[in-house]
Structure 1
Amino acid sequence: MSVLAPPPPAAAEVFGAALDDAIRYAELLATAGVERGLIGPRETERLWDRHLLNCAVVAEAVGPDATVVDVGSGAGLPGVPLALARPDLRVVFLEPMERRCVFLREVVEALGATSRMSVLRGRAPDAGMGRDGLRWDVAVARAVAPLERLGGMLLPVVQPGGVMLAMRGSRVDEELAEARDGLHSQGWREMQVLLCGKDRLTEPTRLVSAVRVADDVGRGGGDRHDGRQRERRGQTAREQQRRARGRACST
């Protein structure tokens, strides 16, 4: 197994006061994560650039004090780096496989972050369906499904006016062009490509951003996050996203 490289200079800027926690998470990925088959052994050489920093800069596209669900979290990417880079966020790792959930719970405990990170075993469509379905301000996903299918998976867990942030590869513009009509029919609007980390990373992180229409027919009233009822914020997720776009560049 490869030795974990030290964090690059950009890590201190991206993670700030949470850099030590980011190092601890990288160590867990390079040891227990590899041993349990959650991440490939060859990935340890590029954990920082390809995984931690690549995921952490998604924070540029998330508004303040948002609730976030990381769908298909796996080993905690992008959710853990995002939560470390943005201590104002409350992040839930939604993952269907128990062995991955066990690892994620260990990560949360090791980072002492139980007040703002939590693990929920399940699948996105199931978690969001029905009157008691769970919803968040922002849903993030990395390498989960083709874009149009992903939109259908994420829609139930995003509250009206909330945002989908889908991490994609170099074909992101083509993917969005191909999926745009399908996403629109599902109920997504304001679809665009965002580039995050342009001034910090050699290769920026590419996101497809879309806003869920404020149409709650058949879903029942009231917002649910982390299984708890809460009052609506004066500032909607849509307004938060517009503020966040000042920090992320649109192509």
Structure 2
Amino acid sequence: MSPLDARAAVFGSGADTVSRYVDILASRGIDWGLMGPREGDRLWDRHVLNSIACADLLPEGSSVVDVGSGAGLPGIALAILRPDLRVVLLESLLRRANFLELAVEELALGDRVSVVRARAEEHHEVYDVVVSRAVAPLPRLVDWCAPLLARHGRMVALKGETAGAELAEAAPLLRRRGLVGRVVERPVPATDEVSWAVELERAGR
């Protein structure tokens, strides 16, 4: 299957938009230092597809905040895949926030994707889902993100093979925070790879 066919198979009507996003990552994303110079050939598989592997964990119509969004992964990729989501890209660094604002404008996602320049600890909204990818060790991430969770909300942290170890390390903190967690393994669409995430919810939900 060609890359264009794969994008259509995975993203459907969003195939053209995700292609433009990959082009933005491969050009401005690398030029601005948000993506490594050697990542150009791996943007689609390693970054975009990996970011949407756990998309089925986000309930229909959710409000979503992508903490430490960086170049928009996973938030922009999820927004393109799932037009039902309302996504906030939360990023504290000016250069990255500027990149995100340009990307959202160029991809015409502004009706349901917004950029907020702030640290998670400074942000006081709550969301149905808090997502993150390669931001910080889970205990630190929980401290930052738990206040952003709505009462019925869930946190999805994309972690790779370290997911189980990080969940075990965070267990005492999760008990204090009234959270329960599990490791979720999902196939990465259109590849032979798998991805792992830690999913956290409030105990007794």
Change in 2 beyond 3 A, CA 1:24/1:183: same
Are the equivalent residues in 2 in contact too, given 1:58–1:82 (CA < 8 A)? no
Deviation at 1:114, TM superposition (A): 0.6
- Unaligned runs of 5+ residues in structure 2 are none
TM-score of the pair, normalised by structure 1: 0.77
Residue 150 of structure 1 is matched in structure 2 by 141
Q: Distance between the aligned counterparts of 2:64 and 2:11, measured in 1?
A: 18
Correspondence for 1:169: 160
Q: 1:46 aligns with which of 18, 38, 42?
A: 42
Query: C-alpha separation between the residues in 1 aligned to 2:29 and 2:90?
Result: 17
* 2:174 aligned partner: 183
1:112-155 deviations in whole A, cap 9, x for unaligned? 11111000000112102xxxxx1110000111111111111101
> Quick check: 2:50–2:188 contact (8 Å CA) kept in 1?
no
1:13 matched to which residue of 2? 9
Q: Secondary structure at the match of 2:60?
A: coil
Q: How big is the shift at 1:87? A: 0.5
Tell me the secondary structure at the aligned position of residue 170 of structure 1. Answer: helix
Q: Is the 8 A contact 2:10 2:189 kept in 1?
A: no
Distance 1:9 1:183, change over 3 A: farther
Find the partner of 1:194 among 171, 184, 188. 184
- The counterpart of 2:199, out of the listed 186, 209, 233, is 209
1:112 corresponds to which residue? 108
Q: Which residue of 2 aligns with 1:76?
A: 72
Structure 1 CA distance for aligned equivalents of residues 56 and 80 of structure 2: 13
Q: Distance in 2 between matches of 1:115 and 1:181?
A: 40
Paired residues in the alignment total 204
CA distance in 1 between counterparts of 2:126 and 2:198 reads 19
The residue type equivalent to 1:202 in the other structure is D
- Note if contact 1:94-1:124 (Cα within 8 Å) is conserved in structure 2: yes
Identical aligned residues as a percent: 45
Contact preservation (8 Å) 2:53, 2:188? no
Aligned mates of 1:199, 1:39 — CA distance in 2: 21
Whether 1:139 and 2:113 are equivalent positions in the alignment is no
Q: What is the CA-CA distance between 1:204 and the residue it aligns to?
A: 1.6
What is the aligned partner in structure 1 of residue 28 from structure 2? Answer: 32
Is the Cα contact below 8 Å between 2:154 and 2:201 reproduced in 1?
yes
Q: Secondary structure at the match of 1:106?
A: helix
Instruction: Give RMSD over aligned pairs.
Output: 1.6
- Alpha carbons of 1:120 and 1:203: their partners in 2 closer, same or farther (altered >3 Å)? same
Residue of structure 1 aligned with 2:58, choices 50, 59, 62: 62
**Shift in alpha-carbon separation, 1:8–1:196, aligned structure 2, 3 A:** farther
| Distance in 1 separating the partners of 2:170 and 2:84 | 32
In the alignment, the residues of structure 2 paired with residue 7 and residue 94 of structure 1 have an alpha-carbon distance, to the nearest angstrom, of 30
